């Protein structure tokens, strides 16, 4: 027996739509957490590296690099945050999800601390 969409349970359809909406919100929150970490930490780190006196003879892009360094740093910072595994993005994401999605079933659990890392201080 097949069930057509017209005869499907309206409550099940509404629940499915709510789950898709919550998943979309979670994806947006994850992206926001990655951007926050990228801009706050990685972009600052890259700016400090550019300002250091440890510049070699090779590897400088000339005037073009000087002009577009800030834009390139933003891209590098975003990619570093997306691929980082030190837990800061996960922690910020979990806290944001709990705040903006008050239903405990929708918010992800706070990730466990990394193995071998003493979080107590």
32-79 pLDDT per residue, tens: 888 888 888 888 888 888 777 666 665 566 777 777 888 888 888 888
In the prediction, which pLDDT does 71 show? 86
Supply the range of the domain harboring residue 30: 14-49+61-100
In the prediction, which pLDDT does 102 show? 65
Specify if 28 maps to a domain.
yes
Specify if 105 maps to a domain.
no
Instruction: For residue 112, give the DSSP letter.
Output: P
Specify if 26 maps to a domain.
yes
Specify if 6 maps to a domain.
no
If we measure between CA atoms, which residue out of 46, 117, 34 comes closest to residue 78?
34
Specify if 77 maps to a domain.
yes
Specify if 31 maps to a domain.
yes
Specify if 114 maps to a domain.
no
In the prediction, which pLDDT does 48 show? 84
Specify if 2 maps to a domain.
no
pLDDT band at 112 (very low <50, low <70, confident <90, very high): very low
pLDDT one-digit tens code per residue, 3-39: 555 556 776 776 688 788 888 888 888 888 888 888 8
- Asked if residue 82 has pLDDT above 60, the reply is yes
Is residue 107 a contact partner of residue 98, using CB atoms and an 8 Å limit?
A: yes
How many domains does the structure of the chain reveal? 1
Is residue 81 a contact partner of residue 34, using CB atoms and an 8 Å limit?
A: yes
In the prediction, which pLDDT does 80 show? 86
């Amino acid at each position: 027996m097949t069930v057509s969409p017209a005869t499907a349970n309206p409550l099940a359809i509404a629940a499915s739509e709510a789950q898709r909406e919550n998943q979309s919100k979670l994806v947006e929150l994850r992206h926001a957490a990655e951007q926050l970490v990228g801009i706050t930490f990685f972009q600052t780190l890259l700016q400090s590296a550019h300002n250091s006196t440890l510049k070699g003879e090779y590897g400088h892009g000339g005037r073009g690099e000087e002009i577009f360094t800030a834009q390139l740093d933003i891209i590098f910072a975003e990619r570093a945050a997306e691929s980082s595994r030190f837990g800061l993005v996960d922690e910020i994401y979990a806290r944001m999800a709990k705040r903006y999605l008050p239903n405990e079933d929708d918010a992800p659990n706070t990730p466990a601390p990394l193995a071998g890392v003493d979080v107590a201080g």
